[in-house]
Structure 1
C-alpha cells in the first residue's frame, strides 16, 4: 500500500493481495540473517544470488527466465524447477560470480540503465521496479 499525493491509500495490485511470507505483518521488516542475498539487474536479465547450502564456495544464481541465466552463464548447466519461486537455477562459484560483476561494472557505458535494456518485457519489469523504489523514496525512504 502507498499513499498518493492526495493522501489516498493506493493498493499495489499484486503485493497487497498476498501476505509477506516472512512475517505475519507485511509491513514489519524482515530480520537480518547471517549471510547475504542480492537481486541484480543486468541488461541481459534479472537474477537473485544466494548461498548454496551444500557448498560454501558456490552461489545459487536464480532467475525467472531461463534466457537470463543462459546469457550470463552460457557454460553452466541450468536446473529447471517450474514450481519453485525462481524456476531457473545455476550453481556458480563465488569467484566466477564476482568476476562477472567486475566485468559488467567495468563495461558500463550508458547514462540511463533502463534505456539500455532492449528486451521489452525486461524493460517493463525494471520500469515497475523503479516506480516502486520511487514510491518508497517519496514515502520517507530518504
Structure 2
C-alpha cells in the first residue's frame, strides 16, 4: 500500500517472517521520522526505499487512523504546498496525480 499524506510518502508491506508486523518504507527519512519519532529507523541505502521501520499491524492502524482523523483540508495538493517540510514533494505528487488521471481516462 502506498500512502501520500501531509507527513510524506510511505509504502507499507507485510513483514516476510512475522505476520503480525508490517514494514513501513520511505525514500526520504523525514517521512518516517514524522510518523514514528520514537521508533528505530533502519537505513537501507542499497534498497529502492532507503529507510524502514518495523511495527505491529495494530501500531500501523493507529498511525494511519490518526492521519485520517487529522485531515483538515479540502484539497490535498494545496495543503502540501503550505507545509514547509513537505512542499518539496509537490511536483512529485502532481506527477502521481497526472499518471493516475491518464490511467483513469484509458479505462
Q: TM-score, normalised by structure 2?
A: 0.91
Q: TM-score, normalised by structure 1?
A: 0.70
Alignment of 1:1-142 (within 5 A): 38-117=1-80, 118=83, 119-140=86-107
Structure 2 gaps of 5+ residues are none
Point out the structure with max Rg over C-alpha.
Answer: 1
Number of residue pairs aligned between Structure 1 and Structure 2: 103
SS in 2 for 1:132: helix
SS in 2 for 1:50: strand
CA-CA distance at 1:106 after TM superposition: 1.2
CA-CA distance at 1:120 after TM superposition: 2.5
Moved over 3 A (4+): none
Q: Give the CA RMSD over aligned residues.
A: 0.9
Comparing both structures, which one devotes a greater share of its residues to helix? 2
